[in-house]
Structures are given as structure tokens and as C-alpha cells.
Amino acid sequence: MLAASCWVWQQTWLIYPKLLLCLLFGLAWLGAARAIYKRAEFHLQTIGNLVEGIAGGDYSHRLRRAGPDDLLGLQINQLVDGLHRQRLQAKEAMSLVDSVMQGIDVAIFAFDAQGHLQLANPCALSLLGQPSSAVIGRLAADLGLAELLNADTGQLSQHVFPGAAGLWQLRRQHYAVESAAESAVEGREHTLLFVTDLKQVLRGEEMQAWRRLLRVLSHEVNNSLVPISSLSDTLRKSLASMHSKQVDANNEEELADLDEGLSLIHERAIHLAEFVRRYAQLARLPEPHKRVFDLAGLLRRLPTMLPQARLQLSLEAKDSPAGEAPHVAALPPELEIPFFGDPVQIEQLLINLLKNGIEADGAPLELRSQLQPLRLTVLDQGIGLANPDNLFVPFYSTKPDGGGIGLLLSRQIAEAHQGSLILQARGTARGCAAILSFGNTHQAALAGQQTSD
């Protein structure tokens, strides 16, 4: 514009045409500048909308390239495509992690630096016995997890959760989370707590091994006992027919000895067959048919069913000071304890424990109840534990007529109801304590009722 204005001004024209041409040159320059400004503004606005969309998770926008030589538009569109692919891969990875957490049988808890629960998978929620909305954001101490959160990684812990009880393996892992106000270096450390139920795995493998062994033993022993019993009975009948004939005194004595021996063989064969049949129950324990019932009502029937136990029902107070003897009172007649389980199996479990105390000369017995979490303790005044290491070994019994399956079946029933059974000495008192621990019965009953509905 300046060059054209100088050239026009050097001409010999009149002043007015020169001014008009200079004015036209200035207007053309302003129009071109405005057009360039509008184009730049459009590109900047387009880039701004693109960046805003990316920040909001929308990767559908692309820059319109000015031509094949527009490298900036090409590079920006390639960048958006790359971010979109990364976003899809991240979503797939998160979906995979979520599927694993939903399906894994390990309880996973995530806590922030202050000990607030940030995440819990379904297995963890089942241990807590509460929905996610009721536990997320609460302190570990309020949820009863402070001790586990501070335990050494890899430690084994016998712990009673509101939803289950047993032997657990604890593992911790730390990870950093960066908030909007923090840099990557200043990300706060969070903690993942993994709780694995070892008891169920170990017991399951143990019981599978015993069941396979019992099936083989039952098959082989029964195949041998049937012909032995049949042949001994046939020979005894033949001897009986020979007794009716005339025989001398020597033959009479020999036949009597032979009859006695065959009778003993027949009797022992029948006894062994009954012995095998009883142990086969270990391999055929049915699955519990669970429903909500009043456990307190079941407890009140036990003294009538086993009068020789002279059973006393009591309730342990919840506010007993730590380190002191619990406050115990008689079980209130109006008390109800909703429980989700199989009432037949639970009744058989308690009868087995009471009979165990009776056979140990432990009467009178006491059945002490504690609520939330539920714990039933059978206290006897017997001889105590002779060999604690073999309490739950099949076929082992210290009683003359013991079968060695009562305690094992009792533990199976307890674990099938998400509980645990342990036997221990009473300490300063004489006798033994059989402790049944379950989760929060009210939550379990409610969950069972919702499932049935």
C-alpha cells in the first residue's frame, strides 16, 4: 500500500485523484487485514472447541484443513485420533479390571491416606454385610478394619467380619492418587487391602481328599463284607443242621468252637459295615436349605431335647469392658435372633456340641450367646482337651465308643453357614469351650429374606 501510494503521489495528476486512490488502497488493506483476522479467529475458535471437547471426553471433532499442505491441521487431527485410541484402550482396561474385581473371590478394600474407605468389591461388601452406599467414605476404625489395615502384609488372622468369620490372609499394597490440586510428585499414598479366605480353600481341599478316600474305602470294604457276612451266615446254618444229627463228644466240641468263630465273624462284618456307613456320611452331607428363622427359639428347645445336659441358656452383654469377665444374664424369653440358615443343620450342630460335652462328663453345660456379631459358646466342666491337634481329624476319637465324625460334621455345617468352629480350654476353669462364630445375623437374615423374595 505504501509503495502504491508513493507511486501515485509522484504522478502529475491532480490532488483529488491521488487522494482517492490512496484512500482506496487503505480500504483494500483494511479489508484484507480484517479477512485474515477473521480467518485466524475462526481457526483459534475451532482449535479451542476441539480442545474443550477433548477435555470433556468428546473426540468426534476434527480440524478442517485448509489444504494438503496444512501440516498443523494434520498433526492436530492425528493427535486427537491418538488420544481417542488411548481413551478406548483405557476404557477396555478399566472394564477388564472391574470384571475381575466383581468376579474375584478375594475381598479388596481401598483406603485413602486418612483411612477412609474409597472402594470395595462385592466380596468385600459381603464381608461387611452392608451395601456400598453405607460403607464408602467411612473410617476403617468404624468398619472394624483398622487392625487388619495396620497388620503386616502376608499375615494370617482369625477375624470375625459382620458377614463371615474364619482364617484370613492379609496383603497390603500402596498406590499414589493425584488430585486436581496436587502434582504427580505430591500424589497422596492410598492403600489396597486384600483379604483372602484361606479357611474355605484349605477345608475344601481337605474335605475333597477325605471324601475321595471314603468313597474308595466304602466301595472296597463293602465289596468284601457282603460275601464274608453271607458265607458266615450260610456256614452257621449248615452247622445248625449238623447239630441235629448224632455226633460224638469230640465233634460236638469242635462244632461249638466253629459256630462261635463264625458267629464272631458275622457279627464283626455287620459292625464294620455299619462303621463304614456312618463314615460315608462325611461324603454325603447335603447342601443347607437356608431360610430366615428364630435362632433363639431353637436354643430354648435344646434343654428339653437333652435333659441330661442340664443346660443353662445365657446372654452375654455387649458392653462388657475389655479385659474383664463378660457380664452374663439369663436368656430373655422374649428375645428373637433372626438367622439365615438351615434350622435342621444348625440344630444338629448344637446337639453334636452338647453331646460332646455330656460324653466328656461336663454336665451341667452352659450355652452362652453374644449378638452382633453372633457367637455361641458351649461351656462344659469336663476333662478338657486331650489332644487338640487331632480334634477335626476323621476317624480319630478319644472316647471308647466314639466315631470321630461329630466334630468334623459340626465344623462343616458351621462353615457352610459362613461361620467357624473352634475348641479351646477354658483357661482357669475346668473343661472345654466350643465357640461358634458367625457374621451379623440381622444383615444375613435381611439379605436372605430379600433373596427369597
3-state secondary structure the chain: CHHHHHHHHCCCCCHHHHHHHHHHHHHHHHHHHHHHHHHHHHHHHHHHHHHHHHHCCCCCCCCCCCCCCCHHHHHHHHHHHHHHHHHHHHHHHHHHHHHHHHHCCCEEEEECCCCEEEEECHHHHHHHCCCHHHHCCCECCCCCCHHHHCCCCCCEEEEECCCCEEEEEEEEEEEEECCCCCCCCCCEEEEEEEEEEHHHHHHHHHHHHHHHHHHHHHHHHHHHHHHHHHHHHHHHHHHHHHHCCCCCHHHHHHHHHHHHHHHHHHHHHHHHHHHHHHHHHHHCCCCCCCEEEEHHHHHHHHHHHCHHHCCEEEEECCCCCCCCCCCEEECCCCCCCEEEECHHHHHHHHHHHHHHHHHCCCCCCEEEEECCCCEEEEECCCCCCCCHHHCCCCCCCCCCCCCCCHHHHHHHHHHHCCCEEEEEECCCCCCEEEEEECCCHHHHHHHHHHHHC
Three cell numbers written together for 107: 475381598
- Average pLDDT for residues 221-236, to the nearest whole number? 71
CB 450 within 8 A of CB 432: no
Strands 432-437 and 420-425 turn out to be antiparallel
pLDDT band per the 50, 70, 90 thresholds, residue 166? confident
Phi and psi, residue 167, nearest 5°: -100, 125
- What is the per-residue pLDDT for 426? 84
pLDDT at 276 over 70: no
- Amino acid identity of residue 275, one-letter, is F
CB 400 within 8 A of CB 360: no
Average pLDDT, the chain: 77
- Nearest Cα neighbor of 407 from 421, 417, 427, 419 is 421
- Average pLDDT for residues 304-319, to the nearest whole number? 86
- Average pLDDT for residues 28-43, to the nearest whole number? 85
pLDDT at 71 over 90: no
CB 182 within 8 A of CB 101: no
- Average pLDDT for residues 381-389, to the nearest whole number? 75
pLDDT at 314 over 60: yes
- Nearest Cα neighbor of 255 from 242, 265, 269, 244 is 242
Query: Of residues 177 and 186, which shows the higher confidence score?
Result: 177
| Rounded Cα–Cα distance for residues 255 and 234 (Å) | 15
pTM of structure: 0.50
pLDDT at 183 over 50: no
> 373 preceded by cis ω (within 30°)?
yes
- What is the per-residue pLDDT for 187? 54
pLDDT at 140 over 80: yes
Query: Of residues 293 and 453, which shows the higher confidence score?
Result: 293
CB 243 within 8 A of CB 255: yes
CB-based burial label for 168 (10 Å; 0-12, 13-18, 19+): buried
- Nearest Cα neighbor of 115 from 147, 87, 152, 140 is 140
Least confident of 127-131, 203-207, 232-236, 358-362: 203-207
- What is the per-residue pLDDT for 350? 93
